[in-house]
Amino acid sequence: MTEDNENADVWTDRQTMSRSDGTLPTDWRDQPVDPDLEENLGYELIAWEKINVVDDPDQVIFLPDSEEQLRDDAFIVSSESAVCDLTDKR
């Protein structure tokens, strides 16, 4: 955030710390600790295909299964070392 008021964030030692007293607004406190991505956050989950790049073994490409999204240039190029399974990070 880049607001110049009491809601501004401060960058300190690789962490973003709020200037507030640490309390959350009521609507945030009422949210589930582990929200459902679709029901609580409004995300639409879609399948993506991981493709290994032949010329560079450390590079992968992710393409959506949806042809409409492919037409909208939806894709991700990443190094293999930057990709992880989030279920392993819980």
Residue written as token pair 């640490």: 22
- Residue 17, strand partner residues: 10
**Residue 18, pLDDT score:** 52
Cβ atoms < 10 Å from Cβ of 69: 14
**Residue 61, pLDDT score:** 93
Per residue of the chain (90 residues), what is the pLDDT tens digit?
A: 445 555 555 544 444 555 555 666 667 777 788 888 888 888 888 888 999 999 988 999 999 988 888 888 889 999 998 998 878 877
**Residue 65, pLDDT score:** 87
Q: What is the pTM of this model?
A: 0.52
